[in-house]
Amino acid sequence: MKIKVDRKVCAGHALCAAKAPDVYTLDDDGYCNSDGMTVPPGKEEQAIFGAAYCPERAIVLFDAAGKEIR
Ligand code: SF4
């Protein structure tokens, strides 16, 4: 599973990292810097959970085939 974060939309709420700390990380200013990262094995549910908490809907997740799953 791959993570795409629209950095222009991310507002730095940090909820993604709070809800899914094994998946999402923040830069020094509190913005999500997980764009382009691969979700660690076994953390797919956490990735979806954290993405769902993003108030800006800045996070999109893709499966191994490149299909958007959220
Ligand atoms: S919850 Fe959304 S807006 Fe907030 S830091 Fe994460 S990606 Fe950015």
Average pLDDT, the chain: 97
pLDDT, tens digit, 9 for 90 and up, residues 10-25: 999 999 999 999 999 9
pTM over 0.85: yes
Bridge partner residues of 61 (DSSP): 3
| Candidate of 59, 61, 70 to mutate for ligand 1, largest count of ligand atoms within 8 Å of Cβ | 59
Tokens found for residue 2: 């791959």
* Pairwise CA distance, residues 64 & 21, whole Å: 22
**Higher pLDDT pick, 70 / 28:** 28
- For ligand 1, the distance from its centroid to the CA atom of residue 31, given in whole angstroms, is 6
* Pairwise CA distance, residues 62 & 42, whole Å: 15
Residue 70 clears pLDDT 90, i.e. is over it = no
Ligand 1 site residues, Cβ closer than 6 angstroms: 5, 10-16, 31-32, 54, 56, 58-59
26 secondary structure, DSSP code: B
* Domains, the chain, ordered by start: 2-62 (3.30.70.20)
Residue 45 clears pLDDT 90, i.e. is over it = yes
SS3 at position 48? helix
pLDDT at 9: 97
